[in-house]
Amino acid sequence: MKVAIAQIAPVLLDREATCERIVGAIHEASDGGAKLVCFGETLLPAYPVWLCRTDGARFDDADQKALHAIYLEQAVTIERGDLDPIRDALRERGMWGVLGVAERPLDRGGHTIYCSCVVIDDTGEVRSVHRKLMPTYEERLAWGVGDGAALVAHDMGEFRLGALNCWENWMPLARAALHAQGVDLHVAIWPGCERLTRDITRFIAMESRSYVISASGLIGDSDIPTGLPLRDRMASDGEVLYDGGSCVAGPDGSWVVEPVVGEERIIIADLDPDRVLRERQNFDPSGHYARPDVLRLLVDRRRQAPVTFDEVTGESDAG
């Protein structure tokens, strides 16, 4: 099976313009023969690069509030159809997609952003929306804490697909939850940095005896629109803030595609499911090498909610 990584940049905090870039990448990946295309963490509408560059932790700061308001306005609300152009493109091309979005869901009141990994199948159906379990460091200033509701696997042809956001890939139990579901094609999505992808991609592949796709984004000075608050502090002229690092490792930990740095491009790779079967001969982390009598994992896959309403049904007994 051919798979693709779309190592592209957003138009920072512009959902419509970034969506157009994503749709274009889907068509290009399809023209290359790919049946799956993967995009970086919160590519739509952007990773919050300003937090670490503009004193993002300053409490009650007017500029930080203004940026956050823009982030909320441009974030993705799946329920109102913000992903429809992407879903349509995937359905038209008969492809699956794994996409990182800054999600503004209505089921949590509609005013908090979550770092979410969305899996869309080749009919355009949203199969899962996994909200990052723990935002990393300064990310907690922009994103809420997710849950285990979409720690799920999907059958995709001869592969079983699972995906995690960025540093979730360093969480042993999150990985174990996917291993136990038979995942043999693990997608890790990142904002874009070879330092993040080079070691962990090969490690997950060796640990799980799976193919691992690390999909990263790019962000440079030219991707930050003029007029954004604090733009002059986000990047200097010509600076690259996030430089990619997308790569693919085989189930023995060897490189299928070494990290691609500083280049916006569609990366195509051929994956052979037989390689997974060969490597599972001597190690299967949730099968013949597991000891569930000694070590077990409990995963809560309920979607978290701050309130539960018990609705009254039927006619009132009041006279």
- 271 band by pLDDT with thresholds 50, 70 and 90: very high
CA geometry: angle at 93 spanning 88 and 98, to 5°?
70
Note whether 49 and 219 are within 8 A (CB): yes
State how far the alpha carbon of 165 is from the alpha carbons of 168, 239, 278, in Å.
Answer: 5, 25, 28
Nearest-5° Cα angle at 107, 313 to 61: 140
Query: Residue 199 is inside which H or E element, if any?
Result: helix 194-208
Structure tokens at 227: 């007029």
CB proximity list for 226: less than 8 A, separation 6 or greater: none
pLDDT in tens, 299-311: 999 999 889 888 8
- For residue 162, is pLDDT > 50? yes
Could you give the angle at which helices 194-208 and 172-179 cross, rounded to 10 degrees?
40
pLDDT score, position 315 = 58
Beta-bridged to residue 143, according to DSSP, are 113
Residue type, 51: L
Q: pTM here?
A: 0.95
DSSP conformation letters of 45-60? T---TTTTTTTTT-TT
Which residues are tagged catalytic? 41, 132, 166
Q: How far apart are CA 117 and CA 245, in angstroms?
A: 18
CA 66 to centroid of chain Cα atoms: 26
Q: Work out the pLDDT band at 93, boundaries 50, 70, 90.
A: very high
Q: pLDDT by residue (tens digit) across 204-227?
A: 999 999 999 999 999 999 999 999
Closest to 289 measured CA to CA, from 207, 223, 227: 207
Domains of the chain by start residue, with CATH: 2-279 (3.60.110.10)
Question: If we measure between CA atoms, which residue out of 47, 160, 27 comes closest to residue 101?
Answer: 47
Q: Using pLDDT thresholds of 50, 70 and 90, give the confidence band for residue 312.
A: confident
Q: What percent of the chain has pLDDT over 90?
A: 94
Pairwise CA distance, residues 78 & 63, whole Å: 27
